[in-house]
């Protein structure tokens, strides 16, 4: 019996039935074992007029006579077993055709086209060849970034970085499936191909100087791979020093920079009532936008608080509860009365020079309130600057700012249905790329993200999910949802992902590329190394004439 390890265009079977919306059923040839077939692999179908390219989404057992299922024959004799297998009983594949490749004039001239029909009865189904996959996903040149390879193939699959950053994207998967690993790869691709600049809110210090592999080993992160293109900012200089990480800027945020809108984002995390949130706006009107927080926290004693409540027309218990909740801000060392340097300005200056910024949270990464406060506060102001500059570019002869991708973890905390309509992150996701800003959201609970925001994500990279609601959320609105659902549920728990959306021509299951060896570092940072070498050669040439 043939095995699946021969990577030729081996014949698998013939088309027995099917439809355009649900895919086609393929009867396996007698010599092919169902045990050698796995969902997520690619096949081609030789139609009468065109070739179809599709993915196996299900594998099943079938029989000509249903009685064989209830009254199995005696197969202890190998000869009888061989006669029955492939004649009375057979394997069946469900294939979801996605594209036509070659075979018709349009496909030959313009490349793979979306399917608009189904192959004829009894069309031959074969394993897709490496050349077929390259024809669909494009041949990866030596200097181009690739994310991984299809199952049991060596062909490299490329995410198109230009298309990736045109709309917001998402990386999803349950805990321990490699979301951070994949997000690092995607950020490397964006840097390597110069598609955009990145601002990464690095919750657990995984993207700046070094990160952790799936096996728990230390691996180089963005700063080590691209030393001249990445700046590491930190909220916690002491933590960075202890980890021997060299930082480019220590971020301080002044009490005078915190607005009521920033506190409103924390209402769920801090357990604030609606009345308490509204009180922050009254406090800002009373003390001024720049002074309200410091003035409020400086109040001591019940009498003084009671007087303030009466002057504002607030209930004293509301203000007392608000003050208790906001006391946690005093523990955050990066919050100071007035910042010595403007962090937003420093971030924008770096982004304008094409320098990617990773903001490490240090010890504050375990405090979700700190993460939400800082990510929201900085993003609101940076987005505001981008909006001003894009609008000015429309009216004046000035260049638009570089495309910016903002990476956030625990995305459901910013984009859940209750608050996504009011948050800056919900605004950015809905704008798509109106002001040259998009998101890369990372989350293990996609069902916690607002459905409208999920529908605006252009590309989704999904590791294993086992919660039915999470799977439905990720696949909402996708063509062939039920078929892809079975593929997603069967992913390995490590180093496999289903990718679909704008950055790939059709859904693809990839085995993610190797990361952590000297050779992989060389491949990731080759452009940087070449540029440094070229610059050194030019300097030597100038020096010695």
User: What six digits make up the tokens of 445?
Assistant: 């609970």
Buried b / exposed e along 42-72 (16+ C-beta atoms within 10 A): bbbbbbeebbbbbbbbbbeebeeeeeeeeee
Please tell me the predicted confidence (pLDDT) of residue 7: 42
CATH: 3.30.9.10, 3.40.50.300, 3.90.420.10, 3.20.20.370. Which one for 161-246+342-529? 3.40.50.300
| pLDDT of 539 strictly over 50 | yes
pLDDT at 6: 38
Domain chopping of the chain, boundaries: 11-137, 161-246+342-529, 255-331
Q: What pLDDT shows up at residue 259? A: 93
The answer to whether the beta carbons of residues 197 and 356 sit under 8 Å apart is yes
Residue range 235-247: average pLDDT? 93
Concatenating the DSSP letter of every residue in 238-302 gives: HHHHHTT---SEE--EEGGG--HHHHHTTHHHHT--HHHHHHHHHHHHHH-TTTHHHHHHH--SH
Q: Which fold has domain 11-137?
A: Elongation Factor Tu (Ef-tu); domain 3 (2.40.30)
Using CB atoms within 10 Å of the CB of residue 273, give its burial: 0 to 12 exposed, 13 to 18 middle, 19+ buried. Answer: middle
71-75, 203-207, 212-216: segment of lowest average pLDDT: 71-75
pLDDT at 165 (0 to 100)? 94
The pLDDT assigned to 535 comes to 60
Neighbours of 538 (CB within 10 A): 10
Contacts of 469 (CB under 8 A, 6+ apart): 447
- Please tell me the predicted confidence (pLDDT) of residue 144: 81
Taking residues 354-370, what's their average pLDDT? Answer: 94
Task: Tell me the per-residue pLDDT of 457-475, one tens digit each, with 9 for 90 and over.
Answer: 999 999 999 899 999 999 9
Q: Per-residue pLDDT averaged across 337-350, rounded? A: 94
Question: Are the C-beta atoms of residues 323 and 240 closer than 8 Å to each other?
Answer: no
> Which of the residue ranges 154-163, 208-217, 315-324, 529-538 would you say has the lowest mean pLDDT?
529-538
Q: Which residues contact 410 (CB under 8 A, 6 or more apart)?
A: 203, 368, 371, 442, 443
CA distance 7 to 4: 7
The per-residue pLDDT for 213 is: 77
Whole-number pLDDT of residue 76: 67
The two structure tokens encoding residue 389: 């500059």
Nearest 5 degrees, angle CA 315-CA 317-CA 322?
Answer: 100
pLDDT at 168: 95
Residues pairing with 15 in the sheet: 26
Q: What digits encode the pLDDT tens for the residues 8-51? A: 588 999 999 999 989 999 999 988 888 899 899 999 999 988 89
Report residue 231's pLDDT band, with 50, 70 and 90 as the boundaries: very high
Q: What is the mean pLDDT of residues 297-305?
A: 87
Q: For residue 1, is pLDDT > 60?
A: no
Please state, rounded to an integer, the average pLDDT across all residues of the chain.
Answer: 87
Residue 130, burial from CB neighbour count under 10 angstroms (0-12, 13-18, 19+)? middle
Average pLDDT over residues 165-189: 93
For position 445, what pLDDT does the model report? Answer: 94
Q: How many residues does the chain have?
A: 545
Which among 216-220, 507-511, 539-543 has the top mean pLDDT?
A: 507-511
pLDDT category of residue 395 using cuts at 50, 70 and 90: confident
Contact indicator for 178, 215 with CB cutoff of 8 Å = no
Token pair of 16, please? Answer: 């027995």
What is the sign, positive or negative, of the torsion defined by CA atoms of 268, 274, 275, 280? positive
The percentage of the chain sitting over the pLDDT mark of 70, rounded to a whole number, equals 90
pLDDT at 450: 94
Per-residue confidence at 4, pLDDT binned at 50, 70, 90? very low
Give the pLDDT score at 177. Answer: 87
In the predicted structure, residue 56 carries a pLDDT above the cut 90: yes
């Amino acid at each position: 019996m043939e095995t699946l390890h021969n990577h030729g265009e081996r014949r698998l079977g013939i088309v027995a039935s099917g439809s355009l919306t649900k895919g086609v059923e393929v009867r396996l040839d007698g010599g092919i074992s169902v045990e050698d077939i796995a969902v997520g692999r690619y096949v081609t179908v030789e139609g009468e007029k065109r070739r179809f390219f599709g993915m196996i989404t299900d594998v099943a057992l079938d029989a000509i006579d249903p009685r064989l299922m209830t009254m199995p024959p005696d197969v202890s004799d190998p000869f009888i077993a061989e006669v029955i297998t492939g004649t009375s009983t057979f394997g069946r594949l469900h294939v979801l055709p996605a594209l036509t490749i070659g075979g018709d004039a349009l496909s030959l001239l313009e490349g793979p086209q979306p399917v608009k029909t189904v192959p004829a009865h009894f069309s031959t189904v074969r394993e897709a060849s490496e050349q077929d996959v390259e024809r669909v996903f494009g041949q990866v040149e030596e200097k181009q970034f690739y994310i991984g390879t299809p199952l049991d193939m060596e062909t490299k699959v490329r995410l198109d970085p230009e298309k990736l950053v045109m709309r917001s994207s998402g990386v999803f998967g349950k805990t321990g499936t490699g979301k951070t690993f994949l997000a690092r790869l995607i950020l490397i691709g964006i840097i390597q191909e110069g598609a955009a600049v990145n601002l990464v809110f690095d919750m657990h210090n995984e993207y700046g100087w070094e990160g952790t592999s799936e096996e728990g080993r230390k691996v180089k992160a963005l700063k080590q791979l691209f030393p001249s293109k990445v700046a590491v900012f930190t909220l916690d200089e002491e933590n960075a020093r202890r980890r021997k990480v060299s930082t480019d800027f220590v971020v301080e945020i002044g009490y005078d920079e915190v607005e009521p809108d920033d506190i409103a984002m924390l209402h769920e995390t801090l357990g604030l009532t609606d009345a308490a949130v509204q009180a922050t706006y009254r406090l800002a009107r009373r003390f001024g936008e720049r002074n309200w927080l410091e003035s409020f926290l400086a109040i001591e004693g019940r009498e003084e608080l009671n007087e303030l409540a009466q002057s504002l027309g607030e209930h004293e218990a509301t203000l007392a509860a608000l003050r208790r909740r906001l006391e946690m801000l005093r523990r955050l060392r990066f919050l100071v009365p007035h910042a010595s340097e403007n962090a937003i300005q420093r971030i924008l200056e770096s982004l304008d020079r094409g320098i990617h910024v990773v903001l490490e949270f240090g010890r504050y990464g375990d405090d979700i309130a700190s993460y939400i406060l800082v990510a929201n506060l900085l993003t609101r102001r940076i987005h505001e600057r981008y909006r001003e500059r894009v609008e000015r570019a429309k009216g004046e002869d000035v260049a638009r700012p570089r495309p910016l991708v903002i990476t956030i973890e625990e995305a459901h905390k910013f984009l859940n249905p209750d608050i996504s309509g009011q948050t800056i992150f919900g605004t950015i996701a809905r704008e798509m790329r109106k002001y040259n800003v998009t998101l890369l959201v990372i989350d293990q609970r996609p069902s916690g993200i607002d459905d409208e925001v999920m529908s605006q994500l252009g590309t989704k990279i999904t590791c294993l999910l086992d919660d039915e609601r999470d799977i439905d959320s990720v696949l909402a609105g996708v063509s062939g949802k039920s078929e892809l659902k079975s593929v997603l549920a069967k992913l390995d728990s490590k180093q496999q992902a289903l990718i679909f959306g704008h950055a790939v021509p059709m859904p693809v299951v990839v085995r993610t590329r190797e990361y952590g060896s000297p050779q992989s570092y060389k491949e990731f940072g080759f452009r940087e190394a070449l540029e440094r070498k070229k610059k050194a050669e030019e300097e030597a040439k100038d020096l010695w004439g």
